[in-house]
Amino acid sequence: MSGSSTMQKSKPTHVRYLILLMLFLVTTINYADRATIAIAGSSIQKDLGITPVTLGYIFSAFGWAYVAGQIPGGWLLDRFGSKKVYAMSIFTWSLFTLLQGYVGEFGISTAIVALFMLRFLVGLAEAPSFPGNARIVAAWFPTAERGTASAIFNSAQYFATVLFAPLMGWIVYTYGWQHVFVVMGAVGILFSMIWMKVIYGPRNHPMINEAEFEHISNNGALVDLDQDKGKGKEKAASSGPKWDYIRQLLTNRMMLGIYLSQYCINGITYFFLTWF
């Protein structure tokens, strides 16, 4: 939507639900790509002759990079906007996932190092994903709908396991462990292109009409959150971290409780996605 003059005056469209579907799908792909190494792990151990300890190090590569990339990923989203940063994130993590299917072409030592590095790069590339989800929900959904929207895209974490675990297991059994990485990487690369066609800010989306725009903007949606990102030195200076805000986030007892709860949830989830 380029302006109110270009929007149709009719019943509200429901473009925000299309945006939510995209978030659900990208989160499904995100978690499916994380689980590829677990599904293929036993076959990789046999083919490459690696020990469970070495496989554990490979598993951990993703986690270390994901943690390290969270704050830089959030800054990139704030600086350049959700659409471009998230699209690049999807494309790069999918490319690194696809490349894991070819590590068997090297010698054992080189293959292990390459697999570790690629898992590390997948974690780094995926770091902006959930901050990006939160930004897009804040831009597109009224305050009263954000909780539901967030719950829906978060449920994709577990939907990914239900949908893709049997499929990936079948691919490994039928075609070999290499193919699961190639297939999932190709799916993600394709989706990154769809993302660029479908995702826009509320003010610029070609499918939204005036009625829906007014509904979300008048009820708390941050419709200008990504407007003019990446333009101007003043914006670059003002988009940096506000240290007083960071201090408040790190000292608020309620937030500390949320951090602890999320840590426990993530720890359990990752255990079941990898070792169980």
Q: Are residues 88 and 206 in the same domain?
A: yes
Which range has the worst mean pLDDT, 109-118, 124-133, 222-231, 243-252? 222-231
Q: Are residues 17 and 138 located together in one domain of the fold?
A: yes
High-pLDDT (> 90) share of the chain, %: 47
- Whether 3 is covered by a domain: the verdict is no
196 plus 270 within the same structural domain = no
Residues 83 and 199 in one domain: yes
Residue 234 lies in a domain: no
Domain shared by 207 and 249, yes or no: no
Band of the pLDDT at 188, cuts 50, 70, 90? very high
Please tell me whether residues 46 and 178 are part of one structural domain. Answer: yes
**In this structure, is residue 65 part of a structural domain?**
yes
* Structural domain total, the chain: 2
Whether 70 shows a pLDDT value over 60: the answer reads yes
Sequence-separated (6 or more) residues with CB below 8 Å from residue 15: 140, 202, 205, 207, 208, 212
Residue 8 lies in a domain: no
Tokens 């010698």 map to which residue?
A: 107
**Encoded amino acid at 40, one letter:** A
Where do runs of H (alpha helix) occur along 141-252?
A: 143-175, 177-198, 210-218, 233-238, 243-251
Domain residues for the domain of 89 are 13-228
DSSP H helix total and E strand total for the chain: 11, 0
For residues 127 and 246, membership in a common domain is answered with no
Please state, rounded to an integer, the average pLDDT across all residues of the chain: 85
Note the pLDDT tens digit of each residue in 202-237. Answer: 998 999 899 989 998 898 888 888 765 555 444 444
Helices 15-48 and 253-274 meet at what angle, rounded to 10?
50
pLDDT for 230: 52
Are residues 249 and 207 both part of a single domain?
no
193 plus 268 within the same structural domain: no
CATH code of the domain containing 133: 1.20.1250.20
Confidence of residue 9 (pLDDT cuts 50, 70, 90): low
How many residues would you count in the chain? 276
How far apart are the C-alpha atoms of 95 and 74, rounded to whole Å?
21
For residues 39 and 164, membership in a common domain is answered with yes
Query: Looking at the domain assignment, is residue 7 inside a domain?
Result: no
Residues 221 and 250 in one domain: no
Average pLDDT over residues 136-156: 91
Query: Would 233 be classed as within a structural domain?
Result: no
**232: region left, alpha or beta (phi > 0 left; psi from -120 to 50 alpha):** left
For the entire predicted model, the pTM comes to 0.82
Q: Alpha-carbon distance 66 to 219, whole Å?
A: 34
Would residue 101 count as lying in a domain? yes
Same domain, 115 and 72: yes
DSSP 239: T
Q: What is the mean pLDDT of residues 106-115?
A: 90
Please report the pLDDT score of residue 104 as a whole number.
84
Q: What is the pLDDT of residues 30-49, one digit of tens each?
A: 999 988 998 898 899 888 88
In a domain, 190, yes or no: yes
CA dist., res. 39 & res. 182, Å (int) = 14
Q: How confident is the model at residue 199 (pLDDT cuts 50, 70, 90)?
A: very high
Asked if 112 contacts 100 with a C-beta cutoff of 8 angstroms, the reply is no
